[in-house]
Amino acid sequence: MNAIKLVILPGLLMLSACSKTFFVDVKKPADNTIAFCFYSDANRTTQVVKTITRLSVLEEQKSGDWVPVWEINGPMTQACVDYGTASNEIQVKVPATTLITGKHYRVAATDDNSPVGYGTLNFSLHADGTPYMDSN
């Protein structure tokens, strides 16, 4: 039994070292855009510039499936990415659609760090269009 634990434990340690997490927050600045900003801590107090290689916004369907409503591929080096906007260097995989109050969304971002980093966040919109973190 102990031999099995020793074999499994190094495998688990190796897998946990394969990625690095960063944190995403959703905001609505004064210009009324929806912005996804990147942070180094779970409390979202230390904003960081990330080189994002892929960013997807997904909408939850009644079936429980998640369907992309905007997806872009970078690289793009920024502290925040505005929903629906992309420079000429960015490949738009799925054009942005209008976000709807009452729907559940998920943003997923990948960076170019070694090891590769990931950040996700579920969110919804209040009636006035202001986003908030959603536990769904």
Indicate the pTM of the whole model.
0.81
pLDDT at 12: 30
Burial class, 50, CB count within 10 angstroms (exposed 0-12 / middle 13-18 / buried 19+):
buried
* Res 28: pLDDT: 87
Q: Residue 136 has what pLDDT?
A: 61
Chunked into runs of 10 residues, the chain (136 residues) has average pLDDT values of 37 37 87 90 92 95 95 93 90 95 94 80 91 82
At 119, phi and psi to the nearest 5? -145, 140
| Residue ranges of domains in the chain | 19-133
pLDDT of 86? 87
**What pLDDT score does 31 carry?**
75
Q: What class, spelled out in words, does domain 19-133 have in CATH? A: mainly beta
